[in-house]
Amino acid sequence: MPGDTNVVIREYRDGDLTALRDCVVELQDFERRIDGRLRPGASMADDYLREMIRRCGACAGTILVAESDSVVVGFATILARVPFESLDDPPGDYALVADLVVHEGFRGRGIGTALLSASERYARASGATELRIAVLSENRGAAELYRRVGFAAYSEVLRKRLDAGGEGA
């Protein structure tokens, strides 16, 4: 892999749970800087991991782990069969990269790109014909990575804060 030859992408093993928890905490705390309403990472990580593992079972998913010199440095959760739910959606299902995180000290080495490539291979092998990923609009680094590997905007969710005392309240 360009940038870091010691990185291996592999499937999750039971012994990875603590390392994944550390990744979830780091990602959640980073995203809290964008949206302060989000829960602190340490307060939600255990429940989030249980839900992530449950969703993998329900949606033909897996967790892919990035390991550098036997240390987990990131992961991606890929759900291969997420059903469209709304009547105005196309019939069938799609694949979803539900999580992607690389520890801050390991970013810029191609690990995120490698996780996304492995996620795409998993989705294709599972028969998916569409792969989706979501990103907070202000997380520009992640958005740039996703566009660089071929993702393009499909739909946008716009918001307007209706805080007390603000315009529109």
Residue 2: per-residue pLDDT:
47
Q: What is the pLDDT of residues 39-50, one digit of tens each?
A: 999 999 999 999
Domain 7-148: CATH architecture, name and number where available: 3-Layer(aba) Sandwich (3.40)
Is residue 161 pLDDT above 70, yes or no?
yes
Give Cβ neighbours of residue 77 (< 8 Å, ≥ 6 apart). Answer: 52, 55, 56, 61, 62, 63, 64, 97, 98, 99, 100
Shortest CA distance to 24 belongs to which of 74, 78, 69? Answer: 74
Q: What is the pLDDT of residues 96-153, one digit of tens each?
A: 999 999 999 999 999 999 999 999 999 999 999 999 999 999 999 999 999 999 999 9
